[in-house]
Amino acid sequence: MKKVLITGASGFIGQHLARYVRGIGWDVRCLVRPTSNTSAFASDDFELAEGTLSDPESLRKAVEGVDIVFHLAGVTKALRKKTLWDVNESGSKMLAQACAESANPPTLVAVSSLAAGGPLVNLQPGEDVPQRYKIGRYRVRRESDRNAPVSNYGRSKLAGEQAITAFADQLPISIVRPPIVIGPGDRDGFEMFRVIASMSVHLVPGWWPSLFSVIHVEDLVQTLTTVACHGERCSPQTGCLDNANDVPSDQYGQGVYFVSDPTAVTYAELGKMVGQAIGKTKVRCIQVPPRIVRATALVNQGISYLRRRPHILGIDKSREATATGWACDPGKLIRAGDLRLSNDLQTRLNQTALWYREHGWL
């Protein structure tokens, strides 16, 4: 029986992962901050370790005696750019160092983000890409593509990946980059469901159609455990691909995985699928010019500073919202047999909408 540590266990993905791995018989230790809501771990099924990514001693104690570390803790939005790097880069480095210094270094699976890789990639002449994975002059992103994050968040997550993979010669490391994650308890994704349910309107940033990838949280956590057990591992060069031109091409993206539903959809199509999930026969998709997105983000940023709380659509997130699209190719996981989806995307959206309804969110 394996023993695992989960950082960020009190978050949306972390709670699902903790329940899943406990359900398959593994012992679970959760790293939680003193201020974390631990009500989801009230039973004796979970061991709590109090600590933070800025406290090396608490990290050393937390990783002691575990076989696998799932690193989910991070910051997605912040009032100050420095906060993103303090947590996503420096905190990740401290965790990896604690793992490396352990008497028996555990396998470290770091959950990053598609934002670290970047948006859609320019389609090259003659490039063979399945029709479902290209739109206009762009195609979905693969692990072997050069990283090109467009936001401070994405750059901080990439910096965290590079900080972690610097220890790849001292412990087994894999990086998993999910796109949009949906599922029960997701508050960020709920906004799309709420707006469509209340107004039958779906706001689509930009004038152009683009592709987006989605993964259900249950499919994500199952994939994380599979990668932890027998996934490809990073090399020390994995985190240096953007800085070294002499890295062999077969090492590009080594130990890095994009995980998503194989169906890539436009953002307008996603809105209509959400509408179908909540019983809306007609959803009006309104395209929002990039300048309006940026202006709205600027206003939100000002309000955020007054309230001392970052907004989901601040200036940094507007850079992602107005990019060419966010879709990835999960082919690497599929070819390895490590991505086994039991339901299609529409079914997963239906299940998510049902949970929101049953819990009074809709």
* 15 in a structural domain: no
Tell me how many degrees the CA angle 226-67-337 measures, rounded to the nearest 5.
Answer: 10
**What is the spatial distance between Cα 75 and Cα 300, in angstroms, rounded to a whole number?**
18
* 307 in a structural domain: yes
Q: What's residue 208's pLDDT? A: 84
Q: What's residue 310's pLDDT? A: 83
Contacts of 12 (CB under 8 A, 6+ apart): 181, 183, 185, 186, 187, 188, 217
For the chain, the domain total comes to: 1
**What is the spatial distance between Cα 347 and Cα 273, in angstroms, rounded to a whole number?**
10
**What is the spatial distance between Cα 153 and Cα 317, in angstroms, rounded to a whole number?**
8
**What is the spatial distance between Cα 79 and Cα 203, in angstroms, rounded to a whole number?**
25
* 150 in a structural domain: yes
**Dihedral angle, C-alpha 82, 88, 89, 95, nearest 10 °:** 130
* 67 in a structural domain: no
* 132 in a structural domain: yes
CATH code, domain with 159 = 3.40.50.720
Q: What's residue 109's pLDDT? A: 98
Q: What's residue 244's pLDDT? A: 46
Domain range spanning residue 326? Answer: 74-358
* 206 in a structural domain: yes
Helix (H, G, I), strand (E, B) or coil at 58: helix
Q: What is the pLDDT along the chain (362 residues), one digit of tens a residue?
A: 899 999 999 999 999 999 999 999 999 999 998 888 888 887 778 999 999 999 999 999 999 999 999 999 999 988 889 999 999 999 999 999 999 999 999 999 999 999 999 999 999 988 989 999 999 999 999 999 999 999 999 999 999 999 999 999 999 999 999 999 999 999 989 999 999 999 999 999 988 889 999 999 999 999 999 999 999 999 877 655 454 445 555 567 899 999 999 999 999 999 999 999 999 989 999 999 889 988 888 888 888 888 888 878 888 898 999 999 999 999 999 999 899 898 999 999 999 999 999 999 99
* 14 in a structural domain: no
Contacts of 263 (CB under 8 A, 6+ apart): 132, 214, 344, 345
CA–centroid distance for 84 within its chain: 15
User: DSSP for 306-338?
Assistant: HHTS--TT-HHHHHHHTSS-B-B-THHHHHTT-
Q: What's residue 91's pLDDT? A: 97
Q: What's residue 34's pLDDT? A: 85
Q: What's residue 273's pLDDT? A: 97
Strand partners, 175: 110, 256
pTM for the structure as a whole: 0.93
For 150-209, write each residue's pLDDT tens digit.
999 999 999 999 999 999 999 999 999 999 999 999 998 999 999 999 999 999 998 888
User: How would you label 88-121 residue by residue, b for 16+ Cβ within 10 Å and e otherwise?
Assistant: bbbbbbbbbbbbbebeebbbbbbbbbbbbbbbbb
* 94 in a structural domain: yes
Q: Minimal CA–CA distance to 11: which of 76, 67, 59, 55? A: 76
Contact 211, 140 (CB under 8 A): yes
Q: What's residue 158's pLDDT? A: 96
